């Protein structure tokens, strides 16, 4: 009986120790990948900017330190939390925030279940508060008590990239135009939506940045022209809304890259995401236009 | 309440605490109550079926035992078998037989009016029906005395760790365990916990992660090339083993926590060197059930070659049909039967074992390949899908499509390697001396950490549908 108790106690101690140790290792990689360190320029967004902006190249071209905190699937609610989390973690306000937008920024499916992205950062009070509101009590407490349950495969990939300090798009694939045309015909493509809560949160984010005195560049990274033209009226309406929001605040500017790049099909890996070549072109163009603005 | 989800472990923790807090005379009643609660948590409406099976086993078992004449015993056994099998036949096979009859009539241009019924398959019905049937045959053969204590009989049929997916228990092994006083044994408790952890690891870390890839490919096999289809077939072999043996480990471990020993169901089946050997290692409780209650009564191998071939095919076809009411399962069983007969024809009924590691490895690899091909029929929802996969594999076209994200694919590959090495280690070190406390604790902590990090606590078990 004594031996049994020892085994149980030691197992629990070792399990807790492994949780702390492995979690610390994963956190280091993750914080590196999501650049949770003081920087002059902060890029906030989802997979479009994660794949479309090369942090190192942008830093080199701007001559300013750049942090890239982009998460696949992050909607407007998540991005506001990301901004607050960044400032809370680093204790530093960036001079400028590059915030990626698109005609699909207010589509509801983007934000579906996206709170799960933040489980690894549960140690932060901002994130904990966000998760308490959105996650189920079972999930919340499981992940709170057992840190190793907070990670998914995407986060493991981010940890490895963080340790390798690699923010480059790894895909050199080119979009299959024939297959996408078929999908357009069938109507099985990502539709433009106007979720009121997402639109309200977008406005709240811009207002919050205004109050914080942080300049914001809304960057519309390019989507494939075929996709933009699939719902022309809704596209114009969504971009018009973003433009009007940008005009509302003096510290906000909109930089739309669709006009120049969306017809260059060789830059896309799929209709929404850029490939490596596209990442270099988009980052270079963005850096050049920002440099002009900064002058 | 799945054994790979948190509610089950809350139930288990509470159950264990209460069980050992109670005096011995109340423990069986408590186990029965827990078993009924467990079964009702899936679908309370099927409690009636479980009660029916318990009643048939108890009443007919006593009736067989009381019968003075052989004819009377036979008559009671036949009645018991009929009453015991009727729900299984109706719930599992009615639509299959009905739809097959309709297809036949349509082909013959005859009218057929019996409609298709929306029947929900009760959880574990194939398992507890076979357990009940085995009990009646054992009483008939005078291998055991009929159980006079209703509580023991009810617990034997409904014992919750094994009710959903086995292992199919035998009365001579289980009933004496329910009758005796069971003390708390720290060694057995630790071994039970270790088996639960290992089973959970196999299920949630290996099987459920491989399921992502397998499900993606099997849902649209025509869209994938040969390498992807081969990989999906290979992954399914591992998925089904980890899924089913994972459940079995959890069941055996859970039962051990209550002081009950269940029979072993797997013995490294993918290290088999022949199909015959495979069936001695895979789902042992079902294979031995078919051997004892069907194959041997049919004459076994002590008969002519032709009759033996017939016996083998009957057993494998029934085994296929036991798994599911679908022609693909029948084909799967039939394939194994044919392979076993071919093996017997080539190597004889009692072949000499392979001596060199090279011949063992080649035979092992060949057996694994044949088993993997047969699993295609088991996994495919219909013959069309199975033929698309087989044609795709044979046509040697297309490249490797990951089907899942690169991260997931790479992590799965790594976890599969860890599992394979661990399994090989256990296989090659069967009788390891008792390890020091720190080593055991470290092993459990590492497994638990991997379950926490990589586990997918969502999917059901494949065999719970049988």
Query: Which of B403, B445, B446, B451 to mutate to probe the A interface, most A CBs <10 Å?
Result: B445
The answer to which of B30-44, B122-136, B395-409 has the lowest mean pLDDT is: B395-409
Q: How far apart are CA B452 and CA B399, in angstroms?
A: 34
pLDDT at residue A111 tops 60: no
Q: Using H for helix, E for strand and C for coil, what is the string for B354-378?
A: CCCHHHHHHHHHHHHHHHHHHHHHH
Average pLDDT over all residues of chain A = 91
pLDDT at site B456: 85
Q: How far apart are CA B419 and CA B412, in angstroms?
A: 10
**3-state secondary structure (DSSP) of residue A163:** helix
| Mean pLDDT of the region A66-71 | 94
Instruction: Please say if B465 is a catalytic residue.
Output: no
pLDDT at residue B320 tops 90: yes
Q: How far apart are CA B367 and CA B360, in angstroms?
A: 10
Return the domain boundaries, chain B.
20-182, 187-273+353-465
Strand pairing category for A96-101 and A66-70:
unpaired
pLDDT at site A264: 94
pLDDT at residue B223 tops 80: yes
| Mean pLDDT of the region B113-135 | 90
Residue B305: pLDDT band with limits 50, 70, 90: confident
- Between B332 and A169, residue with greater pLDDT: B332
Return the domain boundaries, chain A.
2-294
pLDDT at residue A147 tops 90: yes
Virtual torsion, Cα A258, A264, A265, A268, nearest 10 deg:
-60
Nearest to B453 among A138, A142, A148 (CB): A148
pLDDT at residue A52 tops 60: yes
pLDDT at site B280: 94
Please name the residue of chain A whose CA is at the shortest distance from the CA of residue B411.
A153
Virtual torsion, Cα B63, B69, B71, B73, nearest 10 deg:
30
Using DSSP, how many helices (H) and how many strands (E) does chain A show? 14, 5
| Mean pLDDT of the region B419-445 | 85
Please answer yes or no on whether A7 and B440 come within 8 Å at the CB atom. yes
pLDDT at site B60: 96
Please answer yes or no on whether B187 and A156 come within 8 Å at the CB atom. no
Among residues B116, B323, B429, B465, the one annotated as catalytic is: B323
- Per-residue pLDDT reduced to its tens digit, A254-290: 999 998 899 999 999 999 999 999 999 999 999 998 8
pLDDT at residue B57 tops 90: yes
Please answer yes or no on whether A149 and B442 come within 8 Å at the CB atom. no
pLDDT at site B460: 77
Taking the CA of residue B439 and the nearest CA in chain A, the distance in Å comes to 9
Nearest to B407 among A6, A11, A156 (CB): A156
pLDDT at site B401: 72
pLDDT at residue A295 tops 60: no
Residue B19: pLDDT band with limits 50, 70, 90: very high
pLDDT at site B118: 86
Phi, psi of B88 (to 5 degrees): -65, -45
Average pLDDT over all residues of chain B = 91
pLDDT at site B392: 92
The CA-atom distances, in angstroms, between A168 and each of A56, A130, B296 are 8, 30, 66
Please answer yes or no on whether A7 and B452 come within 8 Å at the CB atom. no
pLDDT at site A112: 63
Collect all residues of chain B within an 8 Å Cβ-Cβ radius of residue A156. Answer: 407, 411
pLDDT at site B86: 95
Q: Tokens at residue B63, please?
A: 């009736």
pLDDT at site A16: 97
pLDDT at site B357: 84
pLDDT at site B457: 74
Are B258 and B32 within 8 A, CB to CB? no
The answer to which of B128-132, B251-255, B305-309 has the lowest mean pLDDT is: B305-309
As a whole-number percent, the residues of chain B with pLDDT over 90 amount to: 69
| Mean pLDDT of the region A5-13 | 94
| Mean pLDDT of the region B285-306 | 92
- Per-residue pLDDT reduced to its tens digit, A174-197: 998 888 888 888 888 888 889 998
pLDDT at site B425: 85
Give the CA count within 13 Å in the CB-facing half-sphere of A174: 7
Nearest to A18 among B411, B438, B445 (CB): B445
Taking the CA of residue B415 and the nearest CA in chain A, the distance in Å comes to 12
Nearest to A1 among B186, B411, B449 (CB): B186
pLDDT at residue B1 tops 80: no
The answer to which of A46-60, A94-108, A226-240, B417-431 has the lowest mean pLDDT is: B417-431
pLDDT at site B350: 72
Please answer yes or no on whether A142 and B6 come within 8 Å at the CB atom. yes
Residue A254: beta bridge partners?
Answer: A218
CATH of span A2-294: 3.40.50.1110
Please answer yes or no on whether A157 and B6 come within 8 Å at the CB atom. no
pLDDT at residue B453 tops 80: yes
Q: How far apart are CA A28 and CA A162, in angstroms?
A: 8
Give the CA count within 13 Å in the CB-facing half-sphere of B354: 14
Q: Give the dihedral sign, CA A220/A226/A228/A229.
A: positive
DSSP letter (8 states) at residue B465: G
pLDDT at site B300: 87
Are B204 and B456 within 8 A, CB to CB? yes
Tokens 């499916």 belong to which residue? A109
């Amino acid at each position: 009986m004594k031996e049994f108790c020892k085994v149980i106690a030691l197992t629990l101690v070792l399990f807790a120790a492994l949780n702390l140790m492995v979690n610390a290792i994963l956190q280091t990689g993750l914080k590196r990948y999501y650049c949770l360190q003081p920087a002059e320029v902060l890029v906030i967004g989802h997979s479009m900017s994660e794949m479309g902006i090369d942090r190192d190249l942008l830093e080199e071209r701007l001559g300013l330190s750049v942090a890239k905190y982009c998460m696949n699937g992050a909607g407007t609610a998540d991005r506001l939390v990301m901004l607050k989390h960044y400032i809370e973690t680093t204790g530093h306000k960036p001079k400028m925030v590059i915030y990626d937008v698109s005609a699909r920024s207010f589509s509801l499916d983007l934000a579906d279940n996206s709170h799960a992205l933040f489980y690894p950062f549960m140690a932060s009070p901002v994130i904990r508060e966000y998760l308490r509101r959105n996650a189920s009590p079972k999930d919340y407490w499981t992940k709170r008590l057992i840190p190793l349950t907070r990670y998914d495969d995407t986060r493991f990939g981010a940890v490895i990239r963080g340790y390798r300090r690699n923010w480059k798009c790894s895909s050199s694939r080119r979009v299959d135009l024939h297959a996408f045309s078929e999908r357009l015909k069938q109507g099985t493509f990502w539709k433009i939506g106007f979720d009121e809560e997402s639109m309200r949160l977008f406005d709240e984010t811009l207002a919050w940045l205004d109050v914080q005195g942080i300049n914001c560049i809304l960057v519309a990274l390019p989507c494939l022209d075929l996709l933009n033209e699939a719902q022309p009226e809704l596209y114009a309406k969504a971009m018009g809304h973003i433009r009007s929001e940008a005009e509302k605040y003096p510290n906000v500017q909109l930089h739309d890259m669709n006009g120049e790049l969306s017809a260059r099909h060789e830059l896309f890996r799929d209709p929404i995401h850029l490939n490596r070549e596209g990442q270099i072109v988009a980052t270079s163009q963005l850096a050049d236009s920002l440099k002009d603005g900064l002058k | 309440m799945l054994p790979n989800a948190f509610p089950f472990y809350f139930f288990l923790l509470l159950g264990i605490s209460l069980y050992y807090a109670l005096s011995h005379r109340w423990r069986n009643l408590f186990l029965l109550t827990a078993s009924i609660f467990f079964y009702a948590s899936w679908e309370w409406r099927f409690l009636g079926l479980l009660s029916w099976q318990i009643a048939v086993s108890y009443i007919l078992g006593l009736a067989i035992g009381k019968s003075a004449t052989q004819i009377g015993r036979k008559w009671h056994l036949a009645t018991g078998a009929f009453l015991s099998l009727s729900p299984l036949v109706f719930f599992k096979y009615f639509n299959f037989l009905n739809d097959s009859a309709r297809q036949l009539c349509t082909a013959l241009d005859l009218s057929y009016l019996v409609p298709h019924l929306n029947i929900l398959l009760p959880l574990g019905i194939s398992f507890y029906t076979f357990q009940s049937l085995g009990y009646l045959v054992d009483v008939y053969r005078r291998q055991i005395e009929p159980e006079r204590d209703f509580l023991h009989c009810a617990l034997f049929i409904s014992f919750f760790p094994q009710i959903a997916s086995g292992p199919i228990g035998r009365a001579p092994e289980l009933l004496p365990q329910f009758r005796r006083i069971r003390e708390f044994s720290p060694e057995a408790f630790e071994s039970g916990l270790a088996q639960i952890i290992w089973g959970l690891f196999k299920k949630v870390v290996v099987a459920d992660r491989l399921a992502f890839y397998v499900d993606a490919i099997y849902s649209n096999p025509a869209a994938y090339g040969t390498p992807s289809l081969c990989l999906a077939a290979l992954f399914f072999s591992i998925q089904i083993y980890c899924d089913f043996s994972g459940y079995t480990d959890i069941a055996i471990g859970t039962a051990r926590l209550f002081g009950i020993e269940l029979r072993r169901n797997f013995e490294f089946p993918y290290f088999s060197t022949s199909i015959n050997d495979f069936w001695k290692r895979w789902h042992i409780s079902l294979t031995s059930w078919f051997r004892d209650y069907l194959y041997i009564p049919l004459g076994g191998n002590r008969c002519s070659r032709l009759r033996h071939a017939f016996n083998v095919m009957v057993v494998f076809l029934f085994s296929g049909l036991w798994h599911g009411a679908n022609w693909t399962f029948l084909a799967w069983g039939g394939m194994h039967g044919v392979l076993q007969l071919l093996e017997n024809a080539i190597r004889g009924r009692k072949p000499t074992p392979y001596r060199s590691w090279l011949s063992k490895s080649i035979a092992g690899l060949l057996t694994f390949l044949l088993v993997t091909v047969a699993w295609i029929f088991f996994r495919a929802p219909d013959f069309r899908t199975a033929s698309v996969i087989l044609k795709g594999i044979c046509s040697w076209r297309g490249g490797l499509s990951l089907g899942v994200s690169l991260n997931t694919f790479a992590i799965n590959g790594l976890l599969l390697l860890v599992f394979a090495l661990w399994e090989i280690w256990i296989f090659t070190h069967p009788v390891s001396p008792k390890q020091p406390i720190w080593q055991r604790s470290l092993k459990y902590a590492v497994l638990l950490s991997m379950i926490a990090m990589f586990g997918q606590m969502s999917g059901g078990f494949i065999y719970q549908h049988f």
